[in-house]
Amino acid sequence: MAIKRILVYPEGCLKQVAKPVTVFNDKGLKVLVQDLADTMYDAPGVGLAAPQIGVSLRVAVTDVDWRSEDGIKNHQVWINPEFLWKSDEMEIGEEGCLSLPDIYGDVERPNAVRLRWYDLEGKPYEQDFEGFQAVALQHEFDHLDGKVFIDYFSRLKRNMIIKKLKKKYLS
C-alpha cells in the first residue's frame, strides 16, 4: 500500500497508550496492516507497531525470519495483543528500534511468553513464544503501551539519548 514515515522518539503517540481495535475485518484496518508491513520491510526492520507511524491503535506486525538466507517475507499480524504469562527466566540482548535510529543497548527481558491476540477478522489466538520471537514481541508491544526500549535504561543514559535524538532528528 504505502511506506509511511516512522516517528522518532519522543514524537507524537510514541509515549501514549494505544487504543484497542474494536472493528475488525475493515478496509481501514487492512490498509494499516499492509502499510505497517511495507514500512517495516523498507526500513528494514523485524517489527513495527502502529504508534510508530502515528496511529494510536493496538496493532503491530513482525517478521523475525525474513532477513534470513531464504529472504521470504511472511509477516505476522498482532491485534490487541495481551501477554498471559512471562517466564521468570530472563535474557539480556542488544536491542535497537526504528524509532530510535542508531541507538542500541542491552535490555533484560523474559525469554518466553504466552500471548493472546486477534487476527484481521477478529479471530482470537493463544500461543507460547520463546527466544528472539518472544523478545521481539515484547519490544513491539511496549510501543502499544507508550514505552520504548530505552525506558529500561538509567534515567541519565535515557536523557542523554533523548537529547541526542532531539538535536539530530527533531530540531
Please check the confidence at residue 66 and state whether its pLDDT lies above 80.
Answer: no
Total domains in the chain come to: 1
54: left (phi over 0), alpha (psi -120 to 50) or beta: left
Q: Please indicate, yes or no, if residue 56 is contained in any of the structural domains.
A: yes
Tell me what pLDDT residue 68 has.
Answer: 64
Q: Please indicate, yes or no, if residue 100 is contained in any of the structural domains.
A: no
Tell me what pLDDT residue 12 has.
Answer: 85
Q: Which of 82, 89, 130, 140 is catalytic?
A: 140
Written as nine digits, the cell of 6 is 516512522
Q: Please indicate, yes or no, if residue 130 is contained in any of the structural domains.
A: yes
Q: Please indicate, yes or no, if residue 133 is contained in any of the structural domains.
A: yes
Q: Is 91 a catalytic residue?
A: no
Q: Please indicate, yes or no, if residue 50 is contained in any of the structural domains.
A: yes
Residue 167: phi, psi to the nearest 5?
A: -65, -45
Identify how many contiguous H helices and E strands the chain contains and give both numbers. Answer: 3, 7
Reported pTM: 0.94
Q: CB–CB of 9/150 below 8 Å?
A: yes
Q: Please indicate, yes or no, if residue 161 is contained in any of the structural domains.
A: no
User: Per-residue pLDDT averaged across 23-42, rounded?
Assistant: 96
User: Which residue segment(s) compose the domain that 63 sits in?
Assistant: 12-87+110-148
CATH number of residue 128's parent domain: 3.90.45.10
